[in-house]
Amino acid sequence: MTHSTSLSGYFPDDDEELDPPFPPTSTDLLGYTDPADIVVSSVEARSITDELKLLFDQFHTFRDVEYYGAANKVFNAQMFFERLALPLRIYDEKIEERSLEGEIYLPKTSAEYLEELRDHRIDGGGGSLLESTKAVEALRDFLWDSCPMFDEIVATIDESVQEGDSVAVFNGSKKTGELLSEALYDESGVDAELLDEHLRVVNQDTVRDIPPVETLVFCGLQRPGHASLYCHPRVDETVIFTYSDWMHGTIKDHVDAAMERYREFTGLPDHRIPTPEVHGLSDAEPDDNGPDPSYPDEQDGPEDDHDQPKDEDTVNLPDGLSSEDLYRLEDLVRLSPTKNSELRDEWGLTSGKEVYQYLASNLSEYYRRNEEQLIVPTGHGRDLVEEQS
């Protein structure tokens, strides 16, 4: 669902000046008139990049022959390693510790991603995901004791904090963000009191309300719906670390689309809300971009369709499930039994294929198809909606 609201009244005419203090809404809107510098920084790790490229190619192979189940499992594995922001040994051990303590809704360990690929069988063809499985095994070996992405983040934090600048690190999952925060405090060479003052690890709900910071860091390609955060109005510079040069063009496309949606929402012209230049782009052809099609081009967040998004701090969502996912799961339960076309219209998507891809990528544990091939919630999905109501 798209809303179009003219907010041009918050701005002076071109030949006028606006004196502070500004109301909060105007402050953020004015931030978009001088958007953050966006830098895509390639993390040099050829062995990791090669395996991620193999997974990327496998994703496209399965998608092109319409083996969507296999394609989505490969995609999920690639995105996990592309965005991994701490050594696997630390990541897996901390998740296993929390599991033994009885915590539920934990993110998958790397071993679980590996087992999903090993166990998957392609219907009809009798094939397996052998090449993808080998790539994930290699990535686990490369990233077990050290993580180049994590090293880059630590170096950025240490340099910024020592200069008196503040840094925010985005992690889409609240629980993996907690693991990352613990690891950053353990490994940073900066005093903990300085980190308390200058460092924030934020997720998709808390990032929108951060105070002004000099640098906002992202790890790997994010969902299209998160691209507006690259242009955060309270940030001086956004740095996106990625192993995959071929994703640079996708990041630029996401930025362009996000700013166009924002101009449509505000009713302001291009020269008032310019699209920021994305620095550090590679020479990859547009057709070589990353596996963006597996995600529908979501709007900027749950507030697009709902006035009051739920806070994950209060509703205790399963890890990896956003507020927007919960709202859509509620729609699925309410409309059940339903079909792709009905959900397409309900969610403002453009095709039934987008619905399929969204469900497979975001709600795979919470829906199934009945004997008539209609979409219905699983018992787990229905229970989750009832718990949050």
pLDDT in tens, 67-111: 888 888 898 899 899 999 999 999 999 999 999 998 877 888 999
Q: 24-28, 36-40, 45-49, 172-176 — which one is most confidently predicted on average? A: 45-49
Residues 117 and 258 grouped into a single domain? yes
Asked if the bond preceding 337 is cis, omega within 30° of 0, the reply is yes
Count of beta carbons in the 10 Å neighbourhood of residue 283: 8
Give me the sign of the Cα torsion angle 136, 93, 144, 56.
Answer: positive
Range name among 7-11, 332-336, 360-364 with the lowest pLDDT average: 7-11
CB 195 within 8 A of CB 184: yes
Provide the pLDDT for residue 311.
38
End-to-end CA distance of the chain: 22
Q: Give the residue from 240, 268, 293 where a domain finishes.
A: 293
Residues 154 and 177 grouped into a single domain? yes
Residues 372 and 254 grouped into a single domain? no
DSSP 231: G
CB 184 within 8 A of CB 157: yes
Domain limits at 366? Answer: 302-388
Provide the pLDDT for residue 1.
37
Q: Which residues pair with 199 in a beta bridge?
A: 167
CB 224 within 8 A of CB 254: yes
Residues 336 and 287 grouped into a single domain? no
**pLDDT tens for each residue of 207-247:** 888 889 999 999 988 777 677 788 888 899 999 999 987 77
Range name among 28-42, 74-88, 106-120, 287-301 with the lowest pLDDT average: 287-301
Domain total of the chain:
2
CB 162 within 8 A of CB 173: no
Q: Which among 7, 129, 144, 145 is positioned nearest to 69, based on CA atoms?
A: 129
CB 117 within 8 A of CB 133: yes
Residues 196 and 341 grouped into a single domain? no
Range name among 116-130, 148-162, 293-307 with the lowest pLDDT average: 293-307
Cα–Cα distance for residue pair 114/92, rounded to 1 Å:
13
More confident residue, 157 or 25: 157
Residue 54 pLDDT class (50, 70, 90 cuts): very high
Residue 64 lies in a domain: yes
Domain containing 369 — which CATH number? 1.10.10.10
Provide the pLDDT for residue 238.
93
CB 35 within 8 A of CB 44: no
Asked if the bond preceding 21 is cis, omega within 30° of 0, the reply is yes
CB 234 within 8 A of CB 211: yes
What is the overall mean pLDDT for the chain?
A: 78
List the alpha helices (DSSP H) in the chain. Answer: 24-33, 46-64, 68-83, 88-100, 110-119, 130-143, 148-162, 174-187, 192-198, 248-266, 312-315, 323-335, 340-347, 352-362, 379-388
What the block records as the tokens of 204 is: 């998709």
Q: Is the pLDDT of residue 7 over 70?
A: no
Residue 23 lies in a domain: no
Residue 3 lies in a domain: no
Residue 372 lies in a domain: yes
Residues 73 and 159 grouped into a single domain? yes
Q: Phi and psi dihedrals of 47, rounded to 5?
A: -60, -40
Residues 62 and 105 grouped into a single domain? yes
Q: Which among 234, 235, 230 is positioned nearest to 250, based on CA atoms?
A: 230
Q: Is the pLDDT of residue 306 over 60?
A: no
3-state secondary structure of 302: helix
Residue 32 pLDDT class (50, 70, 90 cuts): low
